[in-house]
Amino acid sequence: MSSRTSGQSWMPKGSISPYQVYALIVNSVIGVGVLLFPRSMAKEMGTDGILVIPLVGIIAGIMLFVISKLGGLFPGRSLVGISREILGIKRYPWLGKILSVVLLAIFLVNWLGGMVVVTRTFGQVLVTAVFQRTPIVVVMLMLVAAAAYVSHSRVDVLARFNEFLLPLIYAPGILLIAALIQVGEVEHLLPLFQADWKQVVKGASTALFSYTGFEVTLVFMGAYQEPKKALRPYLTAIFVITVFGYWLTYLICLSVFGKEELTLLAWPVLELVKAVHIPGMIFERLESAVVSIWVIAVFTTITNTMFAIVQTLQEFLGLADRRRKWLTLAVGGTIYGLALWPTNIYEMGKWGELMGYWWFFSILLVPPLLYVIARIRRRRGEKRGESPSV
């Protein structure tokens, strides 16, 4: 099967609705970072974190704006097709394939490394908080195997899967608000405006790493029903993630624990849920319910990203559809094998920091670069009165 048609049966055009686009972004971003984010932000910014998080949301919105403009120029195409079209020449189409290798490699390393950190963190949380007698290798193996199985589906099936599970992500918000009402203290949110510009930049960088995942839209946008109107679900998703996913969570954790105590907690959100008291003891061990929902959030994150990796590799290598299952198994095996590499949670944290900087580099470099080149080439084609290649 030629490279032009390989993988197309898995990405039928016009199969993802605007609401499913919103669901894909929310499920791809909300995951491991929710449990770790409050502690990291408290260390970097303290009480000023509640002022920095909205700023970070605006930066993420700008990044998605560039991605939406890029998708609008090439409706029905994903990252591989767009990069080849922009970097190639009509007379020498092979040139686009060669030049796109570097850009695609940047994203593939980013996605693979990110999934390694997510998988290892997932296993670490579960064996610490729930399955204390279960080996971490078994927990991670079950996650990767299940994600590989689900990701081996057409994109419309995966989109409906995300759409179905999305309402569950909202459920913990009720418990967080209950914790704020019962034990939150306004004094813990003060004083404000204590950080200098260096701290703001470092804190913003730390917070921005928690938004990793939305770049999978570069692959999924090849199947949008309305690619030129993708900006609205993009910005809606970022608004919900910023306000209800990170800002409100951090504000409540800070009001309940205070800055000093928050920096000492391994899993602040789980400790926060333990502070909630329900009259009559109708429900006990609410943290177990939150962990269950968190497992779903992490599962959708790794499933969406694994699909993006496999789809990108299949399109780039021009593999036939019958070989896709082996490619999925190879990607899943690579993620699982690398997730076993870190020897402890501190080494895994260093991996996470390294991949955070790599993500920051890839998302700031590739989409804006592709968009600028596409606009320049299109303008030149219009001036010459020719039909531009992009």
Asked if 121 and 348 touch (Cβ cutoff 8 Å), the reply is yes
Specify the DSSP class assigned to residue 290: H
Place of tokens 């790493």: 209
Going by C-beta distance under 8 Å and a sequence separation of 6 or more, which residues neighbour residue 123?
A: 136, 137, 139, 140, 143, 339
Helix (H, G, I), strand (E, B) or coil at 136: helix
Question: Residue 4's pLDDT is what?
Answer: 46
Low-confidence ranges of the chain (pLDDT < 70): 1-8, 277-285, 379-390
The H or E element spanning position 259 is: helix 248-262
Asked if 238 and 214 touch (Cβ cutoff 8 Å), the reply is yes
Question: Residue 152's pLDDT is what?
Answer: 92
Q: How far apart are CA 313 and CA 320, in angstroms?
A: 11
**What class does CATH assign to 8-383?**
mainly alpha
pLDDT in tens, 172-189: 887 777 777 777 888 888
Going by C-beta distance under 8 Å and a sequence separation of 6 or more, which residues neighbour residue 117?
A: 32, 348, 351, 352, 355
Q: How far apart are CA 212 and CA 210, in angstroms?
A: 6
Token pair, residue 359, equals 């993500």
At residue 279, φ and ψ (nearest 5 deg) are: -55, 140
Token pair, residue 256, equals 């309940």
Question: How many CB atoms lie under 10 A from the CB of residue 97?
Answer: 18
Specify the DSSP class assigned to residue 12: -
Angle at 248 between CA 242 and CA 254, to 5 degrees: 125
Asked if 331 and 144 touch (Cβ cutoff 8 Å), the reply is no
Q: How far apart are CA 390 and CA 378, in angstroms?
A: 6
Expressed in angstroms, the distance from the first to the final Cα of the chain is 25
Question: Residue 379's pLDDT is what?
Answer: 63
Place of tokens 């690619």: 227
Helix (H, G, I), strand (E, B) or coil at 16: strand
Question: Residue 166's pLDDT is what?
Answer: 93
Asked if 197 and 5 touch (Cβ cutoff 8 Å), the reply is no
Q: How far apart are CA 238 and CA 369, in angstroms?
A: 22
Question: Residue 28's pLDDT is what?
Answer: 93
Peptide bond into 268 cis (omega under 30): no
Which residues lie across from 224 on neighbouring strands? Answer: 16
Question: Residue 282's pLDDT is what?
Answer: 58
Question: Residue 3's pLDDT is what?
Answer: 42
Q: How far apart are CA 270 and CA 290, in angstroms?
A: 7
Question: Residue 66's pLDDT is what?
Answer: 94
Going by C-beta distance under 8 Å and a sequence separation of 6 or more, which residues neighbour residue 389?
A: 85, 88, 89, 90, 377, 381
